[in-house]
Structure 1
Amino acid sequence: MFDWVILAWMGFLILFFAVIGYWLGRKISERFYAAKLDEWKKEYEKDIRKDAVERSRAVLGGKFSEQLAPYFPDFNYDPTEVRFIGSPVDFVVFKGTSTKEPEEIVFVEVKTG
């Protein structure tokens, strides 16, 4: 009986210390990699911000170009018949409304870039 009690306590202690060791190891590694991430952010912050500004400018330029598309010479429809929607379709063209004889409705998606 006494041997089983000691054996049970030994098993419990081994399991307990294994769990504590695992938990401490995780905490230490989390702190280590959090510090590495902060270090990386400080090193590359200017590059990240520059990239974000460039991407933002590209998106804004694309949206601006989409709204001007009906006035470009290679646009296939009369600009007075076009209505800008923006999302999910850029334009709806009510073909023939300028001549008061509607023919069809066309959904137009403009791709820029």
Structure 2
Amino acid sequence: MTWMHIWEGQAFSEVALIPVRRDPARFKVSCTVTDGQEHTFQLWFYNIPEISQWLRRMEPQRWGFNGPGLIEIKAALEPALTQVDVYGLTDTNREAHNQVTAPHYWITHWALT
């Protein structure tokens, strides 16, 4: 069975706030993403596969990545997010993610509650 997330196949502008508006009582995987200036977002996900896919495919778009830049950052994120798929939300994996995305944006924390 193939699982599709509710936001898949849609323009980022149409789905950007889906993980922001979710009920934390129902969505137990979270992360906080910031640019360290004026934008910080608390995001909520159903499970590890969803957060991993969002961080690969959608979150870079929030911070202005598109076209060739989006392709480049997605490829650069792949090793860190594959580690998330296998080992979960560890500090090491978060730091590996942030090495790719900083100074544009970074994850300040993530959790599975």
Bigger share in strand: 2
Q: Which protein has the bigger helix share?
A: 1
- Greater Rg, structure 1 or structure 2? 1
Which band: TM-score by shorter chain? under 0.3
Q: How high is the TM-score relative to the length of structure 1?
A: 0.18
Structure number with the bigger relative contact order (C-alpha 8 A, sep ≥ 6) is 2
Scaled by the length of structure 2, the TM-score of the pair is: 0.18
